[in-house]
A and B are shown apart, each in its own frame.
Chain A
Amino acid sequence: MANHGMRDRVAIVAMGCTPFRDHWNKSADDLLIDAVKESLQSSEGLELDDIDAFWVGTQGSGMAGVTLSKPLQLKGKPVTRVENYCATGSESFRNAAFAVASGAYDIVMATGVEKLKDSSFAGLTASWPPSDGTDINWTAPGAFSLLAPAYAHKYGLSEDQLREVLTHIAWKNHQNGVLNERAQFRSAVSKETITNAQKVAGPLGVFDCSGVSDGAVAAVIVRAEDAYKYTDRPIFLKGLSFVSGACDGAMTSSYDYTTFPEVAITARDVYDQAGITNPREELSLVECHDCFTPTELVLMEDLGLSNRGEAWKDVLNGTFDRMGEMPVNVDGGLKSFGHPIGATGLRMMFECWLQLRNEAGERQVPGATLAMAQNLGGQPGACVAFAAIFGKSLG
């Protein structure tokens, strides 16, 4: 029994990512076709038929592998549909990575898609199996809003201080989104607007919540030794970790809503695999799951980018700003992209792909060598957590 890790075993050699939008004129099929087509174009001479096996992640935009094989008319190819809450896109990548690492296939594709805007509901919805009707049907903002007062209480922040911290996170990620043509929201939002926004749940206003959008992403993965056959600038997987929580935080009184224990475990695991001892110094950038502003705040500590109880100060000091010491969500994050569930995890990896290939244009982090994608699903006390680290070179 051991976790042997995934350092330098696989590489991404091609990627495509649709703009994340209200795609009124595109179906999930269209979005997948767009993302796959763009990914193939990013590696010269790569044809769809070259791909041995496929994964598609979606929470509710399709069932089974035919979600991908039908729109792309894949004949005789294995396609697996995966779902793992809001980490569904990452789960698609994770399984595809294992498939090439095992030697079962030479070249595989991980895709993720979500078509949310064909529903007119506010926020995310889900279908659950028939039940006894005793579970609270938490809304996402309701569940994640529990983090904010708990954090403020534990570390002695006043209501105004907490507001200032959350506002900074939203303000920063919207600023970053301005520079990204694929983002759903590309306007800077003033701190005043964020602070005074209509409340959604607890202290969370509209601008503390990520939006709802449509999008799809595709990545082509091969074994590390084959990477340069497909591109001169592959990105190499340095570590890969996933934890599915026991949901005991929601059942036992020891959990205090100021951390995601599942995330902290994946962070330690993925740093070990990548040989990272000081993530804040060694990582060039971090893409994290900023579904709500307090989520990003707590994640900074769970990922070891801030000491416990100090992330709020680092946020206010600009540590995680695009030009700061440790850029977080330089692409704009869920805040600017919205959260098409099956696509989000792969969208984070797409930013790692651009940054490590020096293709991020105006928002390029100079000299980026190591990037992290951190994606989670569920809710505080009951979540699933994913983390991956990518590097621009082997070794």
Chain B
Amino acid sequence: MSANGISNYGAYLPSWKLTTTKFGAESFKLNSKQSRSVSYFDEDTVTMSVEASCCLKFQDSESCEVNVATATPTYLDKSPAASICEVIGAPSHTRAIDFHGLRSGASGLWNALSNHGISISADVRVSAPGSADELAVGDGSAMFDCRGDEFIASLLSSSSRTEEFLDRWRLPGESFISSWDDRFSIDIYVELITQVATDALAIAKLESTTRTVVSCPNPRAAALARKLLKSSGEDGELEKLIGFTGSAHLGLLICDALDQSEPGDTILAINAADGADAFVFEVTGHIKNKKQSHTVRQQAQTQHPIAYERYLRWRSLIDLRGPRRPEPDAPAAPPMWRRADWKYGLVASRCLKCETVCAPPARVCSNCGSIDTFVQHSMKDLGGTVASMTVDFLQPTLDPPMILAVIDVNGGGRRSAEVTDNPSGEIQVGEKLQPSFRKIHSSNGIHNYFWKVRPERTEGESHG
């Protein structure tokens, strides 16, 4: 038994996909070979990291390491990992580490495996409208919990190479991915990939693995490498559904492989970017209890197709004028810090005298008036029922009209929240909704995050 491995995992694909880059397309049926995963306008790499991490549990006294990887950080100077740790409830002893760039998913995973920590990777990829690879990139996130010793996948070996060459790049503040002619880097990538694969398999004393997955920003290099490594091509099929998801791609491919694995299966996973990193895993009997309820494939197949115009608006690539309303105020640092439990953890209060739940948390009970006799009451895993709702055409939003709902939370307490990820565009009184951590808005260069509500994600029928 190896001393390192993955004890739990989670993948998140947003609820939306883009199947066409034609304006005014009447049909969003998947008639091209490629579609891309699209995060909603209120999602970013912090919120998607949170989504992938929803199964994580922590002990208060635990010392923990959380490795967060993205090529699209929400802030440059400020650590996105700190925000994520606050939301997922990581204990105060946590060391939060940020990794950056297309290689960062592999770096974070390597660190988590080495230090029995947690690895989270998330990306939002945007190609310039009209560019050839507009549908070839996508959004998503993945999480690996490498704590404990009950691994679902033990790490057998790893191998790395580093090489300097210019293929994909982006300056700070730039929206769009830049790339050199794909033909230039094919051979470089393929050689790096085969080298690390050979090295890692040799260390693991294996000739081949049950599954091989290759993550590479150059799709032609990835296709050739898969062929040479005799991969079944399932990783390529997934990529055609969701696009290359940047720093999250390696993680999503491993999650997909784990979704399909049986005890005893082996996985060779390779990430190629500015070099290459290979990992060889052996799946254990613990996988049976830890398979995620919505597999990567199910999530990919139930994404809801959207019009190109709507996608462009969500990414602020076209500016459509909304109602004449003031810009929302930026949140202020001291109240955000004071109220972090509520803002990031959705922690309300429950009266010790009458059990009434107050949301937001209140020092004076709204029912019995008792002062300072309350305990914390977390609502982030609690769904609720719509008590009332409205469609507000006067609210500025990148996906009008805004739906606001008054939610009676299971277990008590009521709060109002914006409805998100709602493909039907409708909400009924009495409907069940789930909390979802989202970006409310950004003003004055400050992101304002809080919990919205959304219809429950179901395995549903395919929209393909």
Interface set of A (CB-CB < 8 Å, partner B):
120-123, 125, 128, 130-134, 136-139, 141-142, 145-146, 149-150, 153, 199-202, 246, 248, 250-253, 255-257
B388 vs chain A, min Cβ distance (A): 5
Query: Could you say which of B329, B366, B404, B417 contacts A246, with CB atoms under 8 Å apart?
Result: B366
Given A131-B331, A253-B414, check contact A139 B408 (CB 8 Å): no
Q: Separation in Å of the A324 CB from the closest CB of chain B?
A: 30
Query: Do the beta carbons of B366 and A248 come within 8 Å of each other?
Result: yes
A26→B262 CA distance, assembly (Å): 78
**A132-B331 contact, Cβ under 8 Å, with A251-B359, A253-B414:** yes
Whether A133 contacts B343 by the Cβ 8 Å rule is yes
Q: Judge whether B324 is part of the interface by a CB distance below 8 angstroms.
A: yes
Residues from chain B with a CB closer than 8 A to the CB of A139 are 325, 392, 394-395
CB distance from A157 to the nearest CB of B (A): 14
In the assembled complex, 28 residue pairs joining A and B whose CB atoms fall closer than 8 Å, in A order, are: A121-B324, A121-B326, A122-B323, A122-B325, A128-B329, A132-B331, A133-B329, A134-B360, A136-B417, A138-B392, A138-B416, A139-B392, A142-B395, A146-B388, A146-B390, A146-B406, A150-B388, A199-B391, A201-B391, A248-B367, A250-B406, A251-B359, A251-B362, A252-B356, A252-B367, A253-B408, A253-B413, A257-B388
**Is the Cβ of A138 less than 8 Å from the Cβ of B404?**
yes
Residues in B neighbouring A138, C-beta threshold 8 A: 392, 404, 416
Given A146-B390, A252-B367, check contact A134 B339 (CB 8 Å).
yes
Tell me whether B352 is interfacial, beta carbon within 8 Å.
no
**4 A-B pairs with the lowest CB-CB distances in the bound complex, closest first:** A133-B331, A130-B332, A142-B392, A202-B390
B334 cross-chain contacts in A, Cβ below 8 A: 130
Q: Do B416 and A201 touch across chains, with their CB atoms under 8 A apart?
A: no
* Interface majority SS (helix, strand, loop, mixed), chain A: loop
- A141: which B residues are within 8 A, CB to CB? 392, 394
Q: Is B172 close to A, CB under 8 A?
A: no
Cβ B325 vs Cβ A121 within 8 A: yes
Provide the residues of chain A in CB contact with B367, threshold 8 Å: 248, 252
Residues of B within 8 A of A133 (CB): 329-331, 335-336, 343, 440, 448-450
Chain A residues with CB below 8 A from B325, complex form: 121-123, 125, 139
Q: Does B418 contact A (CB under 8 A)?
A: yes
Interface: B338 (CB within 8 A): yes
In the complex, are the beta carbons of B414 and A137 less than 8 A apart?
no
**Neighbour of B394 across the interface among A122, A130, A131, CB < 8 A:** A122
Q: Tell me, yes or no, whether B429 is within 8 Å of chain A by CB.
A: yes
Residues of A within 8 A of B324 (CB): 120-122
B-side residues, CB < 8 A to A, are: 323-326, 328-332, 334-336, 338-339, 342-343, 356, 358-360, 362, 366-367, 387-395, 404, 406, 408, 412-418, 429, 440, 448-450
Q: State the CA gap A375–B440 with chains docked (Å).
A: 33
**Are B392 and A251 in touch, CB under 8 angstroms?**
no
Min Cβ gap A29→B in Å is 24
- From A130, which residue of chain B is reached at the shortest CB distance? B332
Q: Chain A CB within 10 Å — which of B325, B334, B404 has the most?
A: B404
The smallest beta-carbon distance between B244 and chain A, in angstroms, is 33
| B356 surroundings in chain A (CB, below 8 A) | 252
Q: Indicate which residue in A134, A246, A253 contacts B387 across the interface (CB closer than 8 Å).
A: A253
Tell me which residues across on chain B come within 8 A of A142, comparing CB atoms.
390, 392, 394-395, 404
Which residues of B have CB within 8 Å of A246?
A: 366
* Inter-chain contacts of A146 with B (CB < 8 A): 388-390, 406
Q: Within the complex, what minimum Cβ distance (angstroms) separates A127 from chain B? A: 8
Known: A121-B325, A130-B335. A153 touches B404 (CB 8 A): no
